[in-house]
Amino acid sequence: ITPEMAPRGRIACISPWNFPLAIFTGQIAGALAAGNAVLAKPAEQTPLIAAAAVELLHRAGVPVTALQLLPGDGATVGAALTADARVDGVVFTGSTQTAQAIRRSMAEHLHPGAPLIAETGGLNAMIVDSTALPEQAVRDILASSFQSAGQRCSALRCLYVQDEVAPHLLAMLGGAMEALRLGDPWLLATDIGPVIDDQAARDIRAHVAKARREGRVIHEMRAPEGGHFIAPV
């Protein structure tokens, strides 16, 4: 084993709420496979999924001494982990702003060689020109923009359409949006569920309201009453 491949020691894994099992377990598995012990800090919004996953990992044979669950919010638990000199590296998925805060804390408190593996937010674009099949483009726009209520770093954020095909495509897109159904995610008839919490709903509504004031809203649906639903816009 080369020095680069040798286990680091204790790795803090800080995961997001929008993939509360896949990213959570992916971070843990990678760190464990490399021979490290893991301090797993899930998002404060999804601790129960993380607790169930850790229980299953322990039952499957991962030693309790090699995997510990540390639920809590970022300002306390997360900040403490990234400022503790006993931590030998950090794996993080989340916002760019938080990743930068983690980097600053690690630089101040951790060993200079402690690695930070950070996967941060995306700004994803789609380009539709006159050679595209409109039905296929609209299908993919809907899936990328509104699947998981848009709460993915891989969600479509910028759509660029060739002028010659834009009117037809946007008309088709508006009609397809109207076919989407918001409601209880447990129901098979539901296409879009609520966003994660009240703070997320407020932030998105403020963003849409600003776009509406600027005359930039092209098509907007209505959200169900109650809950943290955000209609596709």
Report the 10 Å Cβ neighbour count for 185: 13
Active-site annotation holder among 119, 158, 178, 220: 119
Provide the H-helix boundaries in the chain: 22-33, 47-59, 79-81, 96-109, 134-146, 166-178, 198-213
For this structure, is 158 an active site residue?
no
| Tokens of residue 199, six digits | 């703070």
Please list, in sequence order, all residues whose beta carbon lies within 8 angstroms of the beta carbon of residue 37, skipping any fewer than 6 positions away: 9, 10, 11, 65, 66, 67, 68
- At residue 152, φ and ψ (nearest 5 deg) are -135, 145
Q: Assess whether 119 carries a catalytic annotation.
A: yes
Catalytic, out of 153, 158, 164, 220: 153
Catalytically annotated residues: 119, 153
